[in-house]
A and B are shown apart, each in its own frame.
Chain A
Amino acid sequence: MGDKAEMIRVEKLNKSFGDLHVLKDIDLEVNESDVVVLIGASGSGKSTLLRCMNFLEIKNSGNVIIEGETIDPKNNDLNKVRQRVGMVFQHFNLFPHKSVLDNVIEAPLTVKKMKRADAEKEGKELLAKVGLADKANVYPNKLSGGQKQRVAIARSLAMKPDIMLFDEPTSALDPELVGEVLSTMKSLAKEGMTMVVVTHEMGFAREVGDWVVYMHDGKIVEKGHPNDIFNDPKEQRTQDFLSSIL
């Protein structure tokens, strides 16, 4: 890692929902241009950890440090922080009452107060980038799941975030549509985007991930390069998990 800038640092993070202790003393750092893949069984806390990184969930204790700035949800303007940390959801969450292009330019128009002409120009470029230039004026209900997710990625990129979080971006897709979304993510990684990805796609983790983090029961069990994790896991629980899914 060394000289790369630190984008996210999580320190001693704890999060509970009522009596349920979901995250237990999590420490994690994500550096510039890293692709960090979080894997683990459902209920292990991966998604909650991801959601703590853009403050859709607020930690109970510990620190979340974004680009060197310790974010206190009470004092920091979270709306400003979230502009730097984009998120892509499992169920896309496109705005169904807006066309594809309007989905993409909504936040640039209303949050960044961009001029419509400029926002539309950038929006169309982003749609071209995710291969959906011809769908600009279509409503989301006319798109396949894979197309929806690529629009969601373009919508998130429209805010020019420094970091992108992906919360199981392909889990709701039919198998034949997974590839197009993963390849969009792959090209984003190639451009040097800092990414944190929760996924069950081990192929993606192995090929695109710089780091793979295995979580179990609210704790990080093991973190390493994909080759080490997949070929030579140190921890018994990592071995058990990998042998159960591969």
Chain B
Amino acid sequence: MPTFGHFLETLLNSYPVFFEGLWLTIRVTFVSVLIAVFIGLFFALFKISQSKILNWIANIYIAVIRGTPLIVQIFIFYFGLTEFNIPKFWAASIGLALHNGAYIAEIFRGSIQSIDKGQMEAGRSLGMSHTLAMRRIILPQAFRRALPPLGNQFIIGLKDSSLAAFIALPELFSVATTQGARTFDEMTYLLIVAVYYLVLVLIFTLLVNLLEKRLSASD
């Protein structure tokens, strides 16, 4: 084990290399979760749709994604689809997005179905179409209810982005292993990267809590 003094010194001196990895991790996470929210919303609506075909499409997608490891999915996107020449950043982002999308679809489905059916009836009785009532009445309430599990999924996505190191995307974890191998001081760099992830997650948790407080003004 490194001494605390050595750890602190390395932490303070290494920030220029880590900040580049940090920035990449933040970008991959935000891009992938943003796409995942849209994917999740679509498949949630497919799942609750009256159409059996759409139900099936959603079920198959969720089953395949949940039933296979994320690292396999990322590798398939990067190595399996080389003829499309997908850049590392997008291979990782799309892989993560498709992965998180399946979980977010279930989060949205649950929160949409948890809204009292009287809300849809009230909207319809005022002359709103199903789509309009869904957009104006149901989804805003469902999104609010989905926020805590969505925040959780975001944190999972943030940490899972470290798997992009295996397709040599120079994000946070990749920086730590590279620096560790270069200096033969692996433990120090692993502890440092753990601190980076922890601080990121704590900051993000704080932001989600603030958002929840603001949105719960009407509860």
Contact = CB atoms under 8 A, between A and B. Distances in A.
A231 interface: no
A105 to B, nearest CB: 11
Interface string A144-168: 0000000010011001000000000
Nearest to B121: A56
Given A56-B125, A106-B126, A93 B116 contact: yes
Interface string A84-103: 01110101011111100000
A244 interface: no
B219 A96 contact: yes
Contacts of B140: 97
Determine the main DSSP class of B at the interface with A. helix
A56 B127 CA distance: 11
A12 B129 CA distance: 28
B126 A96 contact: no
B159 interface: no
Contacts of B5: none
A141 interface: yes
A82 B218 contact: no
Contact of B126 (A80, A140, A159): A159
A76 to B, nearest CB: 13
A110 interface: yes
A111 B118 contact: no
Given A95-B137, A106-B136, A139-B218, A79 B125 contact: no
Contacts of B178: none
Contacts of A58: none
B60 interface: no
A54 interface: yes
